[in-house]
Amino acid sequence: MKIFEKFLNIDRRIIFLLILLGVAIPLIWTLGFNLEVTENVQSVYDLLQELEPGTRILISFDYDPSTKPEIQPMAIALMQQAFTLRLRIIATALWPMGVQMCNEAYETVSVEYPNIEYGIDFINLGYKSGGMVTINHMAKDFRSTFPADAGGNPIDEFPIMKGIKNFDKIGCMISLSAGDPGLKQWVMIIHDTFGKPVAGGTTAVQAPTMLPYVNEQQQLVGLLGGLKGAAEYELLINKPGFATKGMDAQSVAHLIIILFILIGNIGYFATRKQRDTLKT
């Protein structure tokens, strides 16, 4: 009986240690679990596949280093697909550190695509505070909201920005979002006002709140949720990266949590009679 009572009060440091080992070991030795692509991720992939070469897409980097492990792999995979399809990327950020995240993703991807030119195939417009206010401004007058790129160069100098006055000439919009401001605000303006397709990538925690927007009205065309969403996308574009490796670690961590939940419940049921007796 004592062992069952111990099941109810496991020192959390033991839990932490097992989680540490469960996450670290698969990152070193790949376990190679299978992955299935879900409908929401497939929709995002298909959205880009259907765009004509040369189409400009808007990607907003609305996250910071704390959520980089989950969202950066999505950013890299999306950029890889976009450059493969010869789409042109206009990047913005509603979070201050989104600019750095964008630069890092571009630096990673541009090694693989040496023909991509800044200003022609890609531009980083930088960060603008204000969230919804900024998006509203962009909808009315893109050029006055972003008169220069992140480096301070006037956007008139860049061929990729030719003719962009609002969201009319944007093929689609993708927000990589870790919170607020982010995906929700983009959906409200880009889809609800301009009728342009919007897709998103969020953390696994935020994904359930954004799922209602994946509906018949296609407020969101699709959604990449967490590391699994990023891993599925890497599978679709056939370029396994950090997300694919990370999924093994996440799987083992989930198994450990389930194990402790089971242990806790075994202890609970085994000692229930004793507790009921004490109560009476």
Partner 1 sequence: MRVYILLIILIFLSFTLCAQDITFTAADNTNDDGDAIILEWNAPPSVPEMIISRSIDKENYIEIAAVTPLLKRYIDDENIEDGQEYFYKLSVLNTDGETLQSFTASATAKAQWFNTDKISLLIMTLLLASAISYFILSARKGKRLYIRKISGLDTIEEAVGRATEMGKPILFVPGISDLDDMQTIAGLNILGHLAEKVAQYDSTIYVPVCRSMVLSTAKEIVKEAYLRASRPDAFKPDSVFYLTDDQFGYVAGVDGIILREKPAANFYLGAFYAESLILAETGFESGAIQIAGTAMPTQIPFFVAACDYTLIGEELFAASAYLSNEPNQLGSLKGQDVGKAIIILTLLVGVVLEMFGIHFLKDFLTTH
Partner 2 sequence: MRRQIPLLITFFVGALIIVSEFIPHKPFNNLSTSLEGWFLIISGFAIILGQLSLFKVNIIKISRKAPNWPYFIIALVSFSIMVICGILWGTQQQPGLLPISDKMLNFFGVKPFDYIFKYLFENLSATMFSLLAFFMASASYRAFRARSPESTLLLIAAVLVMLGRTTIGSTLTGWIPDSLGFLHLPKIASFIMKYPNTAGQRAIMICAGLGVIGSSLRIILGIERSYLGGK
The residues, ordered by sequence, that sit 6+ positions from 87 with a Cβ below 8 Å of its Cβ are 48, 51, 53, 54, 55, 56, 57, 171
Asked if 166 is part of the footprint of partner 2 (rule: CB under 8 A), the reply reads: no
Query: In the complex, what is the shortest distance from the CB of residue 112 to partner 2, in angstroms, rounded to a whole number?
Result: 21
Number of residues that make up the chain: 280
Q: Please, which of residues 218-257 interact with partner 2 by CB under 8 A?
A: 226, 228, 231, 247-248, 250-251, 253-257
Nearest residue (CB) to partner 2, 10 versus 85 = 10
Site string for partner 2, 171-200 (x = CB under 8 A): ------------------------------
* CA distances, 244 to each of 20, 63, 124, 196 (Å): 19, 21, 27, 30
Asked if 35 is part of the footprint of partner 2 (rule: CB under 8 A), the reply reads: yes
* CA distances, 230 to each of 66, 128, 201 (Å): 16, 26, 8
CA atoms of 90 and 59, how far apart (whole Å): 6
Query: In the complex, what is the shortest distance from the CB of residue 81 to partner 1, in angstroms, rounded to a whole number?
Result: 23
Nearest residue (CB) to partner 1, 60 versus 202 = 202
Segment near partner 2 (CB under 8 A), from 62-70, 77-85, 87-95, 191-199? Answer: 62-70
Site string for partner 1, 122-161 (x = CB under 8 A): ----------------------------------------
Nearest residue (CB) to partner 1, 21 versus 205 = 205
Give the CA-trace dihedral at 167, 168, 170, 172, to 10 degrees.
80
Name the DSSP class of 154: B
- 221's contact among partner 1, partner 2, none, with CB below 5 to 8 A by partner kind, is none
Taking a C-beta distance cutoff of 8 angstroms, is the pair 232, 81 a contact? no
CA atoms of 223 and 213, how far apart (whole Å): 9
Asked if 65 is part of the footprint of partner 2 (rule: CB under 8 A), the reply reads: yes
* Contact positions vs partner 1 (CB under 8 A): 12, 64, 66-67, 165-166, 168, 178-180, 203, 205-206, 208-209, 217
